[in-house]
Amino acid sequence: MGASKKKSSDPLRIQIGGIDGRQKKSLNRVTTTKYNWLTFLPLNFYEQFRRAVYFYFLIITIVSFFVNETISPLVSLLPLLFVMIITALKEGLEDFSRSKSDKLVNTARVIVIRNGKEEVIYSEFIVPGDLVVVKNGGDVPCDLVLLKSSSADRKCFVNTANLDGETNLKTISVPPNYTLSNEDGNSGKDCVVCEASTSDLYNFNGRLETEGGGNGDAVPLTIENLLLRGVRVKGTDRVIGCAIYTGMHTKLQLNSRYTGNKSASSEKYINRFMVALIVGMIVVVVVLYLIERHKEAKIVPTMPFLGPPTNFNSAWQIFEDFLSFLLLFNYMVPISAYMNIELYRIFGMHFMHNDLSLYDEETDQPCRVNASNLNEELGQVNILFSDKTGTLTKNLMKFVNCYVEDKDFTLQNTHLLCEATGEQFELEKLDSEANIFFEALTVCHTVEILQDLGEKPLESAESFSERSHLMGKKIVDRYQASSPDEKALLEGCASLGLVYEGQDNDVLRLCRYPSGEKLQFERLHVLEFSSERQRMSVILRDQSGTTWLYSKGAESAIFPRCKESPRLKVIDEQIMKYAKKGLRTMAVARRTLTPEELANFEGLFRNANTQLNNRNELIRECYETVEIGLDLLGATALEDALQENVGETLEALQTAGLKIWVLTGDKVETAYNIGLACRHIPSGSKQHFIVNVTDPKELLTRLEEIDADNPEVLVVDGITITALLKETPRQFADLALKCRAVLCCRLSPLQKCEIVTLIKKTKKYITAAIGDGANDVSMIQEAHIGIGITGREGKQAARCADFAIARFEMLQRLLLVHGHYNSHRLAFLVLFYCYKNIIITGCMALFQVYDLFSATNVYNSLYLWLFDIVYISFSFTYLAISDKDYSEETLLRHPELYKRFAHNRQASMGVFCLWILNGFVQCFIIFYFTYAVLNDANVLFNGGQPASFQTFGTMLITIIVIVGNLKLLLVGRYMTYLNIAMIFASIVAFMLTTYLYNLDSSGELYDVYNQFLASLPLWLFTIICSAACLLPDFIIKVVNDVFRKVPPTSKLVV
């Protein structure tokens, strides 16, 4: 194992266009199936028998073939086979669907270049080293290093929606200073050296070694040079790439693997109920067996007509007698309940998917359920973790304010308004410092302009004064930005007349309108943004030959790298004012670079970029050498509008008893004011802040002070969170859980996940996490329930989540309606299953008193076969998947109803015991009513014949079926005509199957049911006994309805 790990960590060396040893390398076949034709049955049955209940029934079925004929082996075998076959069919159909999808992918035709000639092959036959041709609109069939592009700037655009769900186009570039001299891969002498494939979609380390060159002359390869499988080429006629990762080793496939199983809290109470039933069954079996041994020793010898006594002390006899009782009462454990639970979950998923109130017409997005086994968990959420940007807000940025020249400006269409003086300014009339600030915004970015194929580059031959904003609008509409912040800044600059018109070979083109003045900057390097750096920079050379470094990002990342200046304090105060308005802020700075500084940076950067190990750390250290001594230019403020009805949704969820935590990367002031605006932080509440505190003693003191003040709202920043999680996690969790709302700011994705993990460890709360971006995935996957929003940051969060919705406001209906119904329905399904099995097995237990405890089955085997499948299953299962204890409108008007099911109160052991007690009472009534009718004078038939043993069993099962079905009318809250029809249809089905079976002259029931139906006394018995069983239930229902608290009518919360 160790050797294999070492081997997998060694770098890969792939010849470009090479064919040596090709057949030994892995193919590009993709397989997502779990089974094949040979392994389906053994693997599927193995997985099913891993369930303890299934394995228990398998053992019981096997034993029943070797023990006496107390009960037919088919009674155990048929339900087990039925459940397993249905489950296997479901799994098989799903796997067959995956197999067909795999075949479509693997047999897609692709173009490769081998030996200088283009060949069309199936995608599955691509191997590492192949030169693969992809045309405009084509999907990339494996991970490729881009080596050639038909575009003049040696780049191509790709749509990564199939990979991470993001709809904006990204730019992939041919490695710098490399040319594919011919389409045969330079005769197979160039090599790609890269790390083994990983699941990281955002990092790639490699180098391209050319013929005769060593590592010193190698061309660095990064994620910017990699075309990942699943992306689609856009805006470029033709690209050629070298295959490096194929088949199941592509980054897409490595990310397709399931991250782990989540189980609902309902599994706990289901297991508790099953254990209680098994323990109860064992107790009954042991007691009956001990009584039987007493009877065998004392009573049987006094009854010579029973034949010679058996040797009841022999080991085999003891084993056989005990197992006879075990077989008789194993029906107490409802194996078919698991099939009905799966059926309920499928219908629950269907209801959510087809709920028009959870459908977003604008994006054509319905609610998507990725984990139907968590449906009922939606009704158990105690703590909700929410992202802010894109979740509570729209992530639709607008450039609204900036601070430059010691003035606060507001952008108003095509001019700037000075708030202090009320003056309006055109950009061209401001002094040079303001123009430098806006130039910095227009060049410090990674935005690209999508050029339609066949479209000529933009020209400006017409009058600039007439066309300025028209042209600006035309260009702006084609901006492709990985960040909405960057696009908003460029749109704001364009509206003021400074338009970014694109770049050719890293020469950025700007145009000032209406003058038409052209500006050009040569972009030398881009210092990429990351959540750890919280900034991005570019190194440019202007038309005069001066080299500049422009930087923008969070003020906490920019200010420490700026020269000391009084302006720092002034701009910091202004940023605080912006933040208090709930605006997203950014600082902008720049510096000049000397030729020596630039050369030193490029040397360090080149060395770092060719390393395969610790490349990112080396690059960050390299960036630090130039991002120093900056001159602060000013600050920007962007507005991110709130989502529709976000305030009403948060209020409703808080009324429902949920504690809401907002985890965001924004600064404290911005997040706090957004929290007030969206009503996450209630007005007038006791609010406490812990900001920039890292000393453990001070943290403990502060936590104790806040705890003593009965806090309602807690606000913490990222620096403090780091210290809290390290030094005082338990005390922090205890305090935060007492608050109605918690706001954590300046968090990294890892910190979000760590906070969720901390609360999960308390094991007292069910957590849900909701977000819309890739940075929320770890939080979403860590929570008990992950909910993704298909937002502007992409669909990666929705793809990785258990449930996906289009807007935050839909969360209210998802939890308060569907969560409530699913919790109620599953609890009813499980409890009713236990109840009905108690009735039917209880009568068998009582019968043992009157048959010398001989483990005789009182029912005909037909009744046991069909009881779960036909007689009662359809009626109560349909009710269980459709019942509504309150209307949807009532649940939305009164969110407090959600609290009633918190911590699975609807399925507590107390409720379980009441259902079991009800079952025992009814089985006593049924059995002794029947016994009383037959014991005194059992001449019940019109012909004067006495009732037989089969008549006794038929009388019992008749009442059980009628009472079990009619009880649904008393416990159901949402009865439709279809419900009622299914209840009576189940009773008719029982009568019909029994009647047909009693026509068989070779059967045990021959002519029994004919006589039963013709007997008036038995009809009267059926009516009176059924009424006696249901009378207590009817009285309880009347009392509950009289004293049931019906919420008053109030305004609907939407």
- Catalytic residue numbers read 387
Place of tokens 């709809």: 167
- In angstroms, the CA 457 to CA 1025 distance is 90
Query: Hey, how many other C-beta atoms are within 10 angstroms of the C-beta on 214?
Result: 8
Angle of helix 949-971 relative to helix 909-936, nearest 10 degrees?
Answer: 140
DSSP 332: G
Q: Of 223, 115, 334, which Cα lies nearest the Cα of 877?
A: 334
Cα-based distances in Å from 608 to 203, 538, 841: 14, 18, 74
Where are the strands (E) in 705-851, listed by range?
713-717, 741-745, 767-771, 785-789, 803-805
Instruction: Tell me phi and psi for residue 149, to 5 degrees.
Output: -135, 140
DSSP 366: -
Alpha-carbon torsion, ordered 331, 336, 337, 343, to 10 deg: -170
- In angstroms, the CA 295 to CA 816 distance is 58
Angle of helix 820-847 relative to helix 873-882, nearest 10 degrees?
Answer: 160
- In angstroms, the CA 980 to CA 994 distance is 22
Q: How many helices (H) and strands (E) does the chain have?
A: 35, 35
Q: Which amino acid, 298?
A: K
In sequence order, what DSSP letters do the residues of 217-271 get, joined into one string? GPEEE-GGGEE-TT-EEES-SEEEEEEEE-GGGSHHHHHSS-------THHHHHH
Residue 129 falls in which region: left (phi positive, over 0), alpha (psi -120 to 50) or beta: left
Q: Of 995, 990, 992, which Cα lies nearest the Cα of 870?
A: 990
Identify whether 514 is preceded by a cis peptide bond (ω within 30 of 0).
yes
Structure-token pair, residue 1022:
């059926």
- In angstroms, the CA 505 to CA 308 distance is 105
Q: Which helix (H) or strand (E) holds 490?
A: helix 484-496
- In angstroms, the CA 1050 to CA 891 distance is 11
- In angstroms, the CA 827 to CA 538 distance is 59
Residue 479: strand pairing partners: 449
The residues, any chain, with a CB within 8 Å of residue 1029's CB and separated by 6 or more, are 922, 925, 926, 959, 963
Q: Of 548, 556, 515, 780, which Cα lies nearest the Cα of 663?
A: 780
Distance, C-alpha 325 to centroid of its chain: 46
- In angstroms, the CA 37 to CA 441 distance is 60
Query: Hey, how many other C-beta atoms are within 10 angstroms of the C-beta on 94?
Result: 12
DSSP 799: H
Structure-token pair, residue 385:
């973790």
Place of tokens 């005082």: 728
- In angstroms, the CA 51 to CA 349 distance is 23
- In angstroms, the CA 482 to CA 933 distance is 82
